Amino acid sequence: MGHEKDQEKEMGVVMDTPERTQIANPLSKFEDSPVFNYINSLSPIKPVKSVHFTQTFSTLNFATIPSVFTSPHVSSLKDSKFLKRHQFSDSSKPELTSDDAKKAETSEGNLNATQNLLKQQTDINSSNSITDTSAAPSSGCSNLESRKLIYEPVRLGTNTLKTAGPSALSVPFISNGPENGSFRNEPEVEGINELPQSKEVSTCDWDSLISDGSELLNFNSPTDTVSYKAPDQNTLHPTSFNTLLTNAKPQANPLENDEGLKGAAENYVVVTSTSLNKFEVGVPVEDTDNEGGSLNKFEVGEPVEDTDNEGGSNLYRGMRRRCLVFEMNGSRRKHFEDVSNGSSANVSESNQTVAPSDNNLRPSRNGNLRGIGLHLNSIASNLVDHKHVKHESSGSGRQLIIAPSAAYPSMGSGRELMTTLSDSPDVGPALNVAEDASKAVGFVVNDELSQSQTSPRKKRRRAENVGEAEACKRCNCKKSKCLKLYCECFAAGVYCVEPCACLECFNKPIHEDTVLATRKQIESRNPLAFAPKVIKTSDPMQEDESSNTPASARHKRGCNCKKSGCLKKYCECYQGGVGCSINCRCEGCKNTFGRKDGSDMDLEGNECDTNGSDGSLQTVFHTEAEPVSATPATPSRFGSARQSIPLMNSKGKPPRSFLAIGSSSNPRFGKLNPFRGGGGTKQLQTVGENEIPDVFEEKNGSPISGVKSCSPNSKRVSPPHSNSIMGQRSSRKLILQSIPSFPCLTPNSKH
């Protein structure tokens, strides 16, 4: 028992959450229970485990946890997820010893999370009549998948254990059955069962589980679960699932309904497979704060309790999702790095990595969103630039997108998100509208930028190297005062920030009036001056020629390259990852994305992949581009089409532009952005009524449409799978839009 107390102490101290302590107690009870003893007898490691477990747990996770609670829960989860993912990929360590307890917690958390998720999803689905299953579910699916991967790693991470298999959760249970795994599982189950008895919280969870079990089941069965499961099934092993069920049953206390347990187990399984449910539900929020994201375990357990307690108001959930998403992004970065580095990364490592990143991202705590935003942007850019990363990013992207999408699909959802965001300290003030949200994103971006302390060029290069950094890129204007289109920041409709190396910069909130005036002036000359340069055509029309490639997208005005052969970033077409078009006046065009003459497509695998694989990206771009696209000089091809989005790829900066465009909402920027006020409308009008309306309509015609900006992230966001789902698209768009706007808000503005 002494060790139990120790655990509790650790839990309590680190976590500060009563919940954890409660959980700890149940664990101790488990230990006392005959089953526990039996297990101990079976397993070589016994009492020590519990202690050890708590330690790792507390140490890694707890540090972060407290912050998490304070801040929106969402973020933490995300981080953990990311970590988990990486870890998962790493999957180097399977340590069972500490895992057992964790597993138990996780299982509980999963159940609760699943319930919450189910509720949320159901709510979302119901609320979002428009997006319906397509949007929410799809998003959910993607999230689930990614999360799922993460989820397991998380547990492992917390425990320091790493399951090699993707289906880690299920695997451990099954494989370990007799040994540690089984041991853990049983104790967990028992503990869970007992918990309700002993503790209110636990009981609540179980009750909710039981009562919700139907919901969960329903949820699963319905569109969401089914669709999700399919992809995830690979990871999940039916066998493992069964084992879980079987384990759960015997273990389940008579007090609690076996069915409830089964349901929970099923749910749990499903969740793991889908991963979304849990993560989305609650864990994320708190975790966001967690720097380390090591909380995996906590996430699991906490979320459950939290979710139960909360009752899972949709709004709250929505917040969590968002937060998670954002954080996930951040974690993602690190994860990417970690992954690239090698699977060896331990949970602790992942945590560490995550934490720093978060910190960096957020100078001020407010910035949960910031961190996220940055991540997203960076991610998107990364994706574009780094194809190899795509999958992961896409996965994360999905997650990111998904959460928002789910919320956004309907206006109501979108608003909820907004509200949730507002709830978050960081976002709070900025958000009134979707635009605000977008602004918040901008902040994030700015923060990242600010983070980079090196000279702009260095930063750039870093960013390029990293991928994320690119998003952070800023201008280096010397003479333009950042009030001309030469300035990337200004052109993107965003204020310059610290990372910028510009001189005599007027592109600051302080000079808002000047900026706005200048923008107006420029717009008067060219209404599309601030519109995305690359327009994408989703329409079949163009697809004829370039269907396979980015060719679907074209530069609004076309390039005028003479010497670069349209093979370097000097060429805006190439930079934008699109083929040259009739509009181009280039000489000796060799654009790999598509030549002016129409031979476009020699697409390099990369680019093509980008575009093609990025279907999601495209969608995102559409959103962004749409506003612009309307005008696009693009030839007939584009006519109907929605614009393509300016690809982030080229520079990684593109996100800015998107942001700027979409970001108009930003108070600062809003003014800046022509888009925003009259200007904003102007662009919209100019851009093409067609596209914009379509987009909005797709979105359900939700007012959200107001937000336009696309985030580079969006690419990631859109999961490959999601492509099939149209509904998601709309939601994505919304999400993306919101993201871009944030940058504008960023106080980080340089100078």
> Where do contacts with DNA occur on this chain (CB under 7 A)?
455, 457-458, 460, 473, 475-482, 484-488, 491, 502, 522, 525-526, 529, 533, 557, 559-565, 568-572, 575, 586, 650-651, 653
Give me the least distance between CB of 582 and DNA, in Å please.
14
CB nearer DNA, residue 191 or residue 652: 652
Measuring CA to CA, how many Å separate 248 from each of 76, 192, 213, 225, 229? 28, 10, 14, 21, 21
CB nearer DNA, residue 318 or residue 442: 442
CB nearer DNA, residue 91 or residue 650: 650
Which residue(s) pair with 285 in the sheet? 74, 75
Give me the least distance between CB of 555 and DNA, in Å please.
8
CB nearer DNA, residue 388 or residue 562: 562
Contact assessment for residue 73 and residue 130, using Cβ atoms and an 8 Å cutoff: no
Give me the least distance between CB of 522 and DNA, in Å please.
5
Give me 186's structure tokens: 């049983």
Going by DSSP bridges, is the β-strand pair 553-555/534-536 parallel, antiparallel, or unpaired? antiparallel
Query: Alpha helices, DSSP H only, in 11-98?
Result: 18-32, 34-42, 47-56, 63-70, 74-90
Give the phi and the psi of residue 634 in degrees, each rounded to 5.
-45, 145
Give me 472's structure tokens: 């952070």
| Residues in CB range of 223: below 8 A, 6 or more apart | 125, 133, 137
Give me the least distance between CB of 534 and DNA, in Å please.
11
CB nearer DNA, residue 653 or residue 750: 653
- Residue identified by tokens 């003014």 is 671
CB nearer DNA, residue 196 or residue 499: 499
Give me the least distance between CB of 719 and DNA, in Å please.
28
CB nearer DNA, residue 170 or residue 507: 507
Return d(Cα 221, Cα 525) in angstroms, integer: 56
Contact assessment for residue 30 and residue 104, using Cβ atoms and an 8 Å cutoff: yes
CB nearer DNA, residue 502 or residue 725: 502
Contact assessment for residue 664 and residue 673, using Cβ atoms and an 8 Å cutoff: yes
CB nearer DNA, residue 195 or residue 589: 589
Q: Which of 377, 372, 351 is nearest to 361 (CA)?
A: 372
Dihedral over Cα of 505, 510, 512, 517: its sign? negative
CB nearer DNA, residue 515 or residue 695: 515
Measuring CA to CA, how many Å separate 377 from each of 44, 85, 154, 358, 449? 48, 19, 24, 14, 11
Give me the least distance between CB of 650 and DNA, in Å please.
6
Please, what is the angle between helix 200-220 and helix 223-233, to 10°?
90
CB nearer DNA, residue 434 or residue 645: 645
Neighbours of 403 (CB within 10 A): 37
CB nearer DNA, residue 112 or residue 583: 583
- Residue identified by tokens 């597993």 is 103
Return d(Cα 224, Cα 218) in angstroms, integer: 10
Q: Which of 422, 439, 393 is nearest to 322 (CA)?
A: 422
Give me the least distance between CB of 373 and DNA, in Å please.
21
Give the phi and the psi of residue 525 in degrees, each rounded to 5.
-75, -40
Give me the least distance between CB of 60 and DNA, in Å please.
36
Query: What is the CA 254 to chain-centroid distance, rounded?
Result: 40
Return d(Cα 583, Cα 192) in angstroms, integer: 66
Return d(Cα 641, Cα 634) in angstroms, integer: 10
Q: How many residues does the chain have?
A: 751
CB nearer DNA, residue 217 or residue 469: 469
Contact assessment for residue 72 and residue 288, using Cβ atoms and an 8 Å cutoff: yes
Dihedral over Cα of 556, 561, 565, 571: its sign? negative
CB nearer DNA, residue 452 or residue 723: 452
CB nearer DNA, residue 321 or residue 557: 557
Give me the least distance between CB of 495 and DNA, in Å please.
14
Measuring CA to CA, how many Å separate 49 from each of 1, 96, 97, 99, 533? 13, 9, 6, 9, 59
Return the amino acid letter for 45. I
Neighbours of 1 (CB within 10 A): 10
CB nearer DNA, residue 388 or residue 568: 568
Return d(Cα 452, Cα 290) in angstroms, integer: 22
Contact assessment for residue 732 and residue 645, using Cβ atoms and an 8 Å cutoff: no
Neighbours of 16 (CB within 10 A): 17
Which residue(s) pair with 553 in the sheet? 536
Contact assessment for residue 523 and residue 682, using Cβ atoms and an 8 Å cutoff: yes
